[in-house]
């Protein structure tokens, strides 16, 4: 039985993502040129919305890092400082660290080794290896599957694993959040444009920010008073929270 009340902010983000994806699909069908050159273009609305989502995630992680919950304080800070840096780095990469906004020319190294001649790492080409394809596509897909599917499954079914996850304060996605991300991945296949991955990044980053803000194990990460109606498990037992909140 789901005892969790969805926060209005989380619902608002679901609506934001749905609207952004539907507008993108309609635009790609009606006028693919407008979609690619205006809506999903670099420094366009979708890219900046993605960067903002990552900065929101970084802010959430930074605040959480300062407020250890029921787990080990040192491990808690390590996890959430790492998430802060990850989100901030991804936001910087998304907008090429403000290069185009500030009118800064790329150094010679990036002119020669970056597929788009920009100052970022994810478009680097090392020999015949495209970093974007290897790290940000293939490895990212594996990491996303582990985070969205394996982590929640193991957290609910293995008490020892749940205790370890809570000790490190690793955010565990809720079922509804996993469904939203998977639905976003599936939706992208409907978009008839080579720039459809921009929509995927937009949706996935906002949903990831909501996972950081409203994880399944929020009581372990932020303490029993993390959210109204979301109490810690009796005796602080990890995993009991999971059975109380399936979505």
Computed on alpha carbons and rounded to an integer, the radius of gyration of the chain in Å comes to: 19
Rama region for 124: left / alpha / beta (φ>0; ψ in -120 to 50; rest): beta
pLDDT at residue number 113: 73
pLDDT at residue number 136: 64
Does 1 fall in a domain? Answer: no
Question: Which stretches of the chain drop beneath a pLDDT of 70?
Answer: 1-5, 127-129, 131-136, 224-247
Does 157 fall in a domain? Answer: yes
Does 133 fall in a domain? Answer: yes
Does 2 fall in a domain? Answer: no
pLDDT at residue number 102: 79
Does 110 fall in a domain? Answer: yes
Range of the domain at 206: 8-242
Total domain count, the chain: 1
pTM score of the predicted model: 0.84
pLDDT at residue number 243: 44
Does 3 fall in a domain? Answer: no
Does 247 fall in a domain? Answer: no
Nearest Cα residue to 90 out of 145, 52, 118: 52
pLDDT at residue number 238: 47
Which runs of E-coded beta strand occur in 93-212? 125-126, 129-130
CB of 36 closer than 8 Å to CB of 193: yes
pLDDT at residue number 4: 62
């Amino acid at each position: 039985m789901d005892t969790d009340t969805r926060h209005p902010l989380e619902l608002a983000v679901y609506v934001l993502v749905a609207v952004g994806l539907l507008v993108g699909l309609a635009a790609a069908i009606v006028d693919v040129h407008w979609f690619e050159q205006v809506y999903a273009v670099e420094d366009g609305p979708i890219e900046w919305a993605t960067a903002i989502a990552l900065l929101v995630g970084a802010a959430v992680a930074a605040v959480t890092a300062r407020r250890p919950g029921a787990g080990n304080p040192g491990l808690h800070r390590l996890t959430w400082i790492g998430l802060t840096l990850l989100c901030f780095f991804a936001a910087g990469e998304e907008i090429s660290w403000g290069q185009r906004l500030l009118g800064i020319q790329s150094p010679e190294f990036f002119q020669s080794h970056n597929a788009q001649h920009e100052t970022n790492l994810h478009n680097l080409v090392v020999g015949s290896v495209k970093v974007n394809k290897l790290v940000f596509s293939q490895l990212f897909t594996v990491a996303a599957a582990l985070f969205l599917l394996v982590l929640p499954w193991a957290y609910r079914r293995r008490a020892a694993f749940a205790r370890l996850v809570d000790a490190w304060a690793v955010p565990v996605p809720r079922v509804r959040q996993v469904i939203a991300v998977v639905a976003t991945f599936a939706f992208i296949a409907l978009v008839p444009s080579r720039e459809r991955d921009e929509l995927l990044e937009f949706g996935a980053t906002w949903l990831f920010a909501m996972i950081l803000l409203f994880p399944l194990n929020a009581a372990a990460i932020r303490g029993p008073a993390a959210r109204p109606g979301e109490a810690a498990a009796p005796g602080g037992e990890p995993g009991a929270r999971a059975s109380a909140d399936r979505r």
